[in-house]
Amino acid sequence: MTSTPSSSGNPGPGFRRPVRLLILGLGNVLCGDDGLGAVAIARLRARYETPEGMSILDGGTLGLSLLPYVEDAEKVILVDSIRAEAPPGSFVRLEGEEVGPAVAGRLSVHQVGVADLLDAARWRGRLPEELVLLGLVPETLEVGLTRSARVEAGLPGLVDRVVSEVSRLGFELHPRSHDAACDFDRSSDLARALGL
């Protein structure tokens, strides 16, 4: 093999995944409930340290630019707003093959979105070994930094569900000590500015 990009599709003998578990929040924090995934991530990061081998990211609405992060992970938990036949604020969990069709119809500000991301990974033979989507049913996607009351009420439960999912997948999150929670990295300043 050369050092140039490896082939299409076939992960190739040199391909390995440096991240064992990725927790990826999705959505636009400027569009009301659409940003609930990013909010859940900010709260998760404020409460827990990120252990070695795990990655907790706010992916926003970056679409295909998130491909390397998804492909680099053995297991992925997506956290997002999910349209479903259920009242706003309801918790939804999908896994494996169910995830693709669900995100294809995702309420999104981007046409090049999560579905394209998963398609591209599948095409390249690099879909994560395990894929789970956790989220809440949104109520409003109007421009604004605040979430609807129902989604806001559902958020603590969503964060807990993410934590249980992490355990189910065989990983463990350690709560931050009080001091560390105040100043763990620059992203916390930004999260605060954004009201997360």
**Residues found near other proteins in the complex (CB under 8 A):** 2, 4-10, 28-31, 34, 57-69, 104-113, 115-116, 119-120, 122-125, 141-145, 185-187, 190, 193-194
Closest CA to 151 of 54, 32, 29, 30: 32
Supply the minimum distance, in Å, between the C-beta of residue 164 and other proteins.
26
Supply the minimum distance, in Å, between the C-beta of residue 168 and other proteins.
26
Give Cβ neighbours of residue 72 (< 8 Å, ≥ 6 apart): 17, 18, 19, 22
Asked whether the beta carbons of 25 and 58 are under 8 A apart, the reply is: yes
CA–chain centroid gap for 173, Å, is 16
Asked whether the beta carbons of 96 and 151 are under 8 A apart, the reply is: no
Supply the minimum distance, in Å, between the C-beta of residue 76 and other proteins.
14
Q: Of 36 and 161, which CB lies nearer to other proteins in the complex structure?
A: 36
In the numeric block, the tokens 């140039």 are attached to 4
The tokens for 161 are 């569900």
Q: Of 111 and 177, which CB lies nearer to other proteins in the complex structure?
A: 111
Supply the minimum distance, in Å, between the C-beta of residue 116 and other proteins.
6
Supply the minimum distance, in Å, between the C-beta of residue 141 and other proteins.
4
Asked whether the beta carbons of 181 and 46 are under 8 A apart, the reply is: yes
Residue type, 139: E
Closest CA to 146 of 38, 32, 28, 25: 32
The burial of 40, by beta-carbon neighbours within 10 Å (0-12 exposed, 13-18 middle, 19 or more buried), is given as buried
Q: Of 142 and 160, which CB lies nearer to other proteins in the complex structure?
A: 142
Supply the minimum distance, in Å, between the C-beta of residue 105 and other proteins.
5
